[in-house]
Amino acid sequence: MSTIPTEEECIQILKEEGCSRSIIKHCCAVLLVSMKIAEHCRANLDLVKAGALLHDVGRSRTQGIHHGVAGADILKARGMPEELMRIVRRHVGAGLTWEEAKALGLPRANYMPETIEEKIVSHADNLVGDTDVRSLEIAARDLEDRGFGVAAERMKAMHEELSQACSIDINVLVKELSLKKSLKGPCGAYISR
C-alpha cells in the first residue's frame, strides 16, 4: 500500500513532472487555503495537503479541462493512493456531472467531489486565482462572467456545505490569508525564492 507523499515530496513530484514555477506557486496558494479549511472541518490533513499540492500536476501535460484526468494518470503511474488520485481527478470546477464530462470528451468516471477532502481541495482551488485568495462572491462572479453559471451555483452550494461542516463561513476563514506571510516549510521556501 502506498503512502501519502509529504509536502517536500509533492513539490519534488511537481518539479519532476515539469510543472512551471507559476503552477507550483498556485498549488502552494491552494495548499494555504485548503489547510485553513481542513483544520476547521476535521479532515485528513495529510491527504488534503498532498491533494492541494498535486491537484494541478496534470497541467504539466495539458492546460485544458483534461488536466484533472492527466494528473490522476500521473499519480497512478507513480503508485500513489487512490484517494489522492480521486482528489486530483475531481477538483475541476466544483465537480462535473457525467453529462458535462461526456460533453467535454472526458473518459467515463465520477468527477464530482464526494469526500470532505475532495470538496476542500476543489473549493480552495476555486477560491484561488493565480496566487490571490478570493471571496466566494468574486470567484462565483468570475465563473458566471465566463459562462459557467451552473458551475458557479455548484460552487456556492459547496461553499455553504463546507461552511456548515466547519461551523464558520469559509470567507471569514480565508479573508486575511497571505501567501508570503503564511506559508512555511517547503512551499514557504519555494515561494520566497
Confidence of residue 176 (pLDDT cuts 50, 70, 90): confident
What local confidence, expressed as pLDDT, does residue 179 receive?
57
**Mean pLDDT calculated for residue range 102-119:** 94
The rounded distance, in Å, linking the Cα atoms of 61 and 180 is 28
The whole model's pTM is what? 0.93
Which of the pair, 74 or 110, is modelled with greater confidence?
Answer: 74
pLDDT tens digits, residue range 3-45?
999 999 999 999 999 999 999 999 999 999 999 999 999 899 9
28 belongs to a structural domain: yes
Encode 16-26: b = buried (16+ Cβ within 10 Å), e = exposed: ebebeeebbbb
Domain count, the chain: 1
Does residue 44 contact residue 35 with C-beta atoms inside 8 Å?
A: no
What CATH number did the domain enclosing 147 receive? 1.10.3210
154 belongs to a structural domain: yes
**Domain extent at residue 75:** 7-192
Q: What residue type is assigned to position 107 of the chain? A: P
Torsion of CA 112, 114, 117, 120, to 10 degrees: 60
What is the number of other CB atoms lying within 10 angstroms of the CB of residue 100?
A: 17
Asked if pLDDT for residue 191 goes beyond 50, the answer is yes
1 belongs to a structural domain: no
Using a pLDDT cut of 90, give the percent of the chain over it.
77
Residue 124's nearest CA partner among 116, 109, 10 is 116
What local confidence, expressed as pLDDT, does residue 72 receive?
97
165 belongs to a structural domain: yes
118 belongs to a structural domain: yes
Angle ∠(14,16,18) on CA atoms, nearest 5: 70
Confidence of residue 1 (pLDDT cuts 50, 70, 90): very low
What local confidence, expressed as pLDDT, does residue 57 receive?
98
2 belongs to a structural domain: no
pLDDT tens digits, residue range 150-165?
999 999 999 999 999 9
